[in-house]
Each structure stands twice: as C-alpha cells, then as structure tokens.
Amino acid sequence: MFHTPFVVSLALLLSFPLLFLFVPRILPPKHVEISLPDELDDLALFRRAALTSLGGGGAVSRLGVTNPRPKIAFLFLTNTNLHFAPLWELFFKNNEALYNIYIHADPSSKIAPPGGVFSGRFIAAKRTERATATLISAARRLLATAVMDDPLNSYFALVSQHCIPLHSFKYMYKTLFVKPISGPSSSSFPVHRSFIEILSDEPQLWDRYNARGKNVMLPEVPFDRFRIGSQFFVLTRQHALVVIRDRRLWRKFKLPCFNMYSCYPEEHYFPTLLSMEDPDGCTHYTLTRVNWTGSVDGHPHTYQPAEISPRLIQELRVSNSSYSFMFARKFSPDCLQPLLTMAEKGLETVNAKGKFTRHYYSDSLRSPVHRSNVMNMTGLGLAPRELGRGRGQVVSPPTINAFHAVEASSQPPPSLELAPASPSPPVDSTTTRPSAANLAHHMLGRRPPPPN
C-alpha cells in the first residue's frame, strides 16, 4: 500500500503538465505594457513637438519659398511588411511637394524596408499590441514626429499596412482642403475640420467604459463624455497638437483593462479627447472604410484576391452621406497584384444605356471620357472632375490612369461636398444584410459586440 503523503505528492507532480496546459486559458493573457523609460521618452518627444509648434518652425528649412502649399502627412502604423508599398508608390507619384511619409514599425517584428518613397521614413518606434494603449502611444509618436519634421504638414492621416487608397492623391488633396471653416486670421493656412469618427450611442459602450474597473475613468472622463470611433483618422494640425499635449486623459486610458473582451483603448482615446476639446472642429466620421460583417476574433473582414474588382472599389468609396471614403481596409497581402493590374492597365466604364467599355490608361495615353460615364467609372482613383460641364459633352483629360486622374476642376464633384458635423453613419454596401442583432454595427462600420 502506498502511504497517503506519497500519493498526494505523486498526484501533484503529475498535475504540473496540466497546470501549464490549462492556466494560460484560465488567466487573462499578459499584454505589452508601457514601461517607465518608454513613457519618459514619449513625454520628451511630445514636449519637443509642442515647443516646435510654438516657434512656428520645423526641422526642414524652406528659405525662399514665398507661397508654400500645405501638406498631408501619411502616418503608417504597422507590425508587418508594407505589402502595398507599390500601390502607394503609384498613389504618391508626381505629388512629392504635397506629402510626407512617416512609419512606426513594431521593433519586435522583422520588417523589410520597402524602399522608394518609403526609404528613410521610419521613426523611432516601440512595441505595439492590438487592444492596448501601446497603439495610442504609437499614433501619438507619429503625430509628434510629423509635427516637428515639417511645419507645412497640415493634415495627418493614420493608416495601417492593410489599408489601400480609393482615389487619386489629387482627388484626396482637393477634397480635404476645399472647404475651410472660419479660424484665427493669424493662421498660416485656412482652418479645416478633422475627419474622425465620434459616436456616443454604440452598444456595449458601458462595458467598454468599465473595462478598467467601475468608476476608474472618473473624474476626468464621465460616462456621458465617453466616446467611440474608428482607430484611423485624418486630423488637422491643431488637433494633432491637442493629442500630443494631452496628459490628463492619457493617465486614464493607459491603465490596464480587467475585461479584455471590452478593451479597445485605441478606439476610445482619440474620439473622447477631441469630442471633449473641440467637437465642432470634427466631422464625426472617418474617411476609412471597414467591413465588420463576418468579423473573426475582433478583426474585420479581410478581402481576398478573388473579391478584387472595379465594382468593389467603387462600392467601397460610397457612403450614405455626401462624402466619399478615401481609404479602405482590410486587404490580404496577395491582393497587391490584382490591385496593381487594375491601377496600371485598365478599368471599365458603363454608359447610361448600361453598356460596358474597357479603357486602358498609361502615362502616354489620352482617352476621351463621356459625360454620362463619369459618375459610373469604376477603378482605383478614377473620378475626373467634369461634372460642371454640359451633358453629353466629350472631354479629353490628359494622362489619366488609375491613381493619376487629372481633375479638370479645383472643386470636388457635388457627390463629395463635405458633410455636416454629424451625418448619418455610412452603410456598408459591400456585403449582404447582417442579422438583426448586429445591424447597428454593420451600418456604422463598427466592431460587433462579443457574444453573450
């Protein structure tokens, strides 16, 4: 007979492998935390950026420029290779004086430098992890670096490695800068609004508010001021400075969550901060299209090569408001080739009679565009601004291809007039109708709630 102490000891010894197997499933996963040295590095960076903005200067000297044009800073937040770099190269081509690029790449990932316009554009980065405050820190680093680097950076567009552009650069540029709002007369450039989604009636908002514990967000963030929105935005310089100067709200949002299923701080910090600081200076909608139908593990639908078509691109642009989406995500890396083929070689147009015609565009080819076809063009970035001309008139815009559509007018078409401050949320027309339980999330382009 075995003695009882021996049996107990043997049972405990044999149970150790089971503990290693089941404990990780029971205990909440350990997430990347923001260390004190990283926090101090960020604070020093933010202070330098804020001081640079007060002086009105930047690291880049442009002596002799008498009439500089504002720029768009593109902020790439990634933890993998920039698979769509060739597509973005086409988007940026021939617009070098109007943009800057900044890349925050997770240093724990092996990322191959894409070269081209992305060469030398990587900033000092820290580790990131989804559904943690590290994504907030990364976005703030990008904003601070871009603010310091060039005083002409006037809009700051945050995108991921899974994003693609839906229009030409000129189309986006003219749309962003077409309608300034009234601002201080001392401003170097007209004052514009930020394109950031800000929602207050999202289901599960109470659970997200209490993800760090009950009343933890008080007194800085009462529940009636807590907001939600897309992680991806296009901010004005004024709002970029609001973000990098903030300390008060950051102290709350950087706290770890206890309810990991309701913890997405990157979707709350920016909408809450800007809603509290300057709600009228924000459009309350995003310019990045996301399809949450059929999401898996909190990730949106990922488009595959078989889904890529001119019609898809056209549908991704469309919202149920009077503006157009400028970016879309999420696309798998192997979508690059079909997207490049569409961008470089051809597109389909359909006339008023429903007849399809294929046109091929290159840097050396000019192709007439019929007025009745303009609104039905499908293909990346093809939206010639000929809407002010007479019906039935044939026009010949110079050198049109998928990303280098040369718009004849400096004004965007009527379908792209900027929407009022609180438009109806966009309807995702790229998928079938969702279930009744997730209809609101489908219409808002939002992450659906976790199952009960």
User: Cα separation of 69 and 94, whole Å?
Assistant: 15
Tell me what pLDDT residue 56 has. Answer: 56
Tell me what pLDDT residue 375 has. Answer: 30
Which range, 17-21, 119-123, 189-193, has the best average confidence (pLDDT)?
119-123
Tell me what pLDDT residue 319 has. Answer: 80
Burial 333-369 (b: 16+ CB within 10 A, else e): eebbebbbebbbebbbbbeeeeeeeebebeeeeeeeb
Query: Cα 250–255–257 angle (5° rounding)?
Result: 135
User: Cα separation of 310 and 349, whole Å?
Assistant: 10
Average pLDDT, the chain: 75
Q: Residue range 441-447: average pLDDT?
A: 45
* C-alpha 62: how far from chain center: 29
Beta strand extents in 19-140 (DSSP E only): 71-78, 99-105
For residues 114 and 89, the answer to whether their CB atoms sit within 8 Å is no
Note the pLDDT tens digit of each residue in 109-149.
999 999 999 999 999 999 999 899 999 999 999 999 999 99
Q: pLDDT confidence of 192, banded at 50, 70, 90?
A: confident
Rounded to the nearest 10°, the torsion over CA 51, 55, 58, 59 is -70
pTM equals 0.74
Q: pLDDT confidence of 344, banded at 50, 70, 90?
A: confident
Note the pLDDT tens digit of each residue in 261-273.
899 999 999 999 9
Ramachandran category for residue 120: left, alpha or beta (phi over 0 → left; psi -120 to 50 → alpha) = left
Angle between helices 134-149 and 237-245 (to 10 degrees): 130
| DSSP secondary structure of 30-50 | P-----HHHHHHHHHHHHHHH
Tell me what pLDDT residue 54 has. Answer: 83
For residues 141 and 274, the answer to whether their CB atoms sit within 8 Å is no
Note the pLDDT tens digit of each residue in 408-436.
333 343 332 223 333 333 333 333 333 33
| Percent above pLDDT 90 for the chain | 56
In this structure, what token pair is assigned to residue 198? Answer: 């800000």
Note the pLDDT tens digit of each residue in 287-329.
999 998 878 887 899 999 999 999 999 999 998 766 799 999 9
Which residue type, as a one-letter code, is found at position 312? Answer: L
